[in-house]
Chain A
Amino acid sequence: MAANTDRRRINAPSGGTSAPVFAKPVKEPGYLQLLRPNRNRGPNELRKTFLQTGVVPSASGSAYLEVPTTTTTSHSSLIPPTSSLKIAASIQGPKPLPRSAPFSPTLVLTTTVKFAPFATRHRRGYIRDSAERDLGVHLETALRGVIIGERWPKSGLEVVITILEGDEDTWWGDSKAEGGSGSGWGLLNVLAGCITVASAAIMDAGIDCVDMVAGGVAAMTRDGQKILDPCPAEHQDIVAACAVGFLASRDEITELWLKGEVGAEPDELIESATHAAMGSVSVLREVLLENIETKTKVASEGSKRRLEDLEVRD
């Protein structure tokens, strides 16, 4: 393990550790299938989303997104059935670029996506891996299309995304049987969440945008059915999935990530993904309204306080 040579962190035992193996699924073949989670929503029904802005007061903008799992956690097993989605975003800037940086007529956007070590069923490392870098690039593409960069020449903007808990690629019981995680459906869900939460944070930071970008995911099953907002652990037969960054009022797409065998009609799947994004848009709108309300309230209270503060001491 590369982490063993990291002198700046506390290292694990050099012999390496392994995740616990639970006895019952190994010993009793039927037991494993009992744990399989099932989708108990309709194909067009989205999961509930919790979104809040202003979680990091020292940052210029920040937001936190949570999509709780819909499967009820069973009390008879310690193995969690499905994962939920918990993402925090923080915006630093816009601030002047360092003197050494070359001239840029537009805003320089830097996006960093990092999974916490405890975010997924398999422990993640401390140094960003290729999947995280990939997500960062996708997110940057989605955001670059909405931010009006010309208004901040010679400035930089840091978008930092921390995934405290991420969706899984498949159900854990299946991935064991196949011997790999493979598909990467979970990453699409994570990307859509990242787009929505970053959009809320940018809105909180008050950075000029042409519209609010919202993320949405749709998947296609083997029989051609489209499902909105799939939780990959709940489905066995996903053949293709698609995540979009969607601008609702302009009807534009800034980011499109399509995976799998989509067949002859990819448009339908993309269309479904934009429908899923509409759900995020309505959440974003509510949060934006709330955000403006609290900001105006704070501003009026602040001016009141300033008047009280102005007794001059001589």
Chain B
Amino acid sequence: MAATTAAAHQQPVHGPALTFPRPIFAAVAPHPFLQAHLSASQPSKAPLRANSRTAHEFRRVGINTGSLTHCNGSAVVRLGNTSAVCGVRAEILHEEHVQGTADFAPSTGNEAEEDLEREREREEIESLRVLVPNVELSTGSTPQHIPGNAPSSFAQTLITRVRSLLLSTSLVRLSDLRILYTPPSNPDDPDAEPEPQLKGYWVLYIDIFYISIDGNAFDAAWIAILAALKNSVIPHAFWDEDLETILCSDDPSEAHPLTLRGLPVPSTFAVFEGKRDWNESGEDEEADWVLSDPDAFEESVCRESVCVVVDCTGGNKGTKDGILKRLEKSGGGVVDRDVMKGLVKRAVDRWQEVETATNAKP
């Protein structure tokens, strides 16, 4: 950590060099500030960012689950100064209120048809809208999001990304959300086996409230959702013939947890493009840095960002063969195929960290 001085690129002054305190340097010239940090360290040490992390270092994940009373599952996730609360609440969508056709086909359990089944299920979840994620940023979490306004485009983008990842990874199984009823006898044919009827669905309202945002809101939201869904308990629901409605049992031993498909973990990277002509000595080779888990200050000076979602639960050899679930990249052309390979490796390492944190019991 060195050279918090702006004198280096100002005109030469006589006498004492012109210096600024750190926060003022960062506010006046954010780009040179980060550049000075990343390029100033001794060659023996890895360059440190302004938040004294190395370029490849993620923030530690802190997860606390089950703290909210009125939720089926909840989690508070901290990534450094970013903290988010996620509450999962299950409500019932009655069969007569389902829009469109709700044809229910029991699972065949066939291995070959599993992919097809999954795809059909994904479409059904999307059309039924049984997963309702929403984010709230206007909680004073950042100076940019003041309450009283409609959700900003940032909030809308964020929630659309979260929803599309929820759907594309098929994280939640529809079989966990169906409420079935098997009548004592088959009405069409008294001798045949009674067939289960669909009576309704559980709708999961997944609400994310940010307490504080310091960059990388997406990773925090997603890890909070993962932890809250893992923590969720859905009461046993059954069709009551006398009252002709769906009732639930309040016995915890009859309730079931959600069985999630895998554990997709996102890793967000920001690309910091160093100023090439600024270094007079002409060191050009280390001009760009790909920073893991950027904070708010770094996000403000980086244009290009990459989000890699990997899932290593299906792999047989530990974390070595992960499945790439999603790749999002925007804003520039620094990350090419080779750099991307490195980023996927970094994302796999990150998966291990997050997996340990989500499985740890509070």
Contacts and interface: CB of A to CB of B under 8 A. Distances in A.
Interface of A: 8-26, 55-59, 62, 64, 69, 75-80, 82-84, 86, 88-92, 112, 114, 116-121, 123, 126, 158, 160, 162, 164-165, 306, 308-314
A121 B69 CA distance: 9
B8 to A, nearest CB: 6
A306 B25 CA distance: 12
Nearest to B240: A23
5 contacts: A13-B203, A20-B91, A20-B248, A58-B214, A78-B248
Nearest to B3: A313
- Looking at A13, A69, A89, A310, the one whose CB has the most chain B CB atoms below 10 A away is A13
Closest 9 CB pairs of A and B: A90-B140, A15-B97, A160-B140, A118-B87, A23-B247, A313-B3, A17-B91, A56-B212, A112-B147
A62 B139 CA distance: 11
Interface of B: 1-5, 7-8, 17, 19, 21-22, 36, 40, 68-71, 74, 81, 83, 85, 87, 89-94, 96-99, 128-130, 132-134, 136, 138-143, 146-148, 150-151, 155-156, 159, 163, 203, 205, 207, 209, 211-214, 233, 235, 237-238, 240, 243, 245-252, 255, 296
A164 B209 contact: yes
A17 B140 contact: no
Given A9-B134, A9-B159, A17-B92, A58 B141 contact: yes
B147 A114 contact: yes
Contact of B207 (A55, A86, A117): A117
A16 B89 CA distance: 14
Given A78-B233, A117-B87, A164-B85, 11 more contacts: A9-B151, A15-B94, A21-B248, A24-B250, A59-B141, A92-B143, A116-B85, A118-B205, A309-B3, A310-B4, A314-B17
Contacts of A22: 235, 247-250
A21 B246 contact: yes
B172 to A, nearest CB: 14
Contact of A90 (B2, B85, B141, B151): B141
A11 B93 CA distance: 13
Contacts of B142: 58
B130 A13 contact: yes
Contacts of B97: 13, 15-17
Nearest to A166: B70
B139 A118 contact: no
B74 A118 contact: yes
A257 to B, nearest CB: 22
Contacts of A15: 93-94, 96-99
A58 B212 contact: yes
A82 B70 CA distance: 10
Contacts of A13: 93, 97-99, 128-130, 203
Contact of B2 (A11, A56, A83, A313): A313
B5 A12 contact: no
B70 A20 contact: no
A20 B246 CA distance: 8
A306 B235 CA distance: 56
Contacts of B129: 10-14
Contact of A10 (B92, B139, B163, B251): B163
Nearest to A116: B209
Given A118-B87, A311-B3, A8 B156 contact: yes
Contact of A312 (B17, B71, B74, B136): B17
A117 B140 CA distance: 17
B296 A58 contact: yes
A311 B138 contact: no
A90 B147 CA distance: 11
A314 B130 CA distance: 61
A123 B89 contact: yes
Contacts of A310: 4-5, 19
A231 B19 CA distance: 57
A123 B91 contact: yes
B174 to A, nearest CB: 14
Given A11-B132, A56-B212, A84-B69, A90 B146 contact: no
Contacts of B3: 309, 311-313
B319 to A, nearest CB: 32
B70 A12 contact: no
Nearest to B207: A117
A14 B128 CA distance: 9
B4 A309 contact: yes
Contact of A88 (B74, B130, B211, B249): B211
A222 B97 CA distance: 44
Contacts of A88: 139, 211
B93 A17 contact: yes
Contact of A118 (B5, B7, B89): B89
A312 B151 contact: no
B137 to A, nearest CB: 11
Given A10-B159, A312-B3, A20 B212 contact: no
A227 B100 CA distance: 54
Contacts of A26: 243, 247
A308 B134 CA distance: 45
Contacts of A10: 129, 132-134, 159, 163
Contacts of B246: 20-21
B71 A309 contact: no
B241 to A, nearest CB: 12
B140 A158 contact: yes
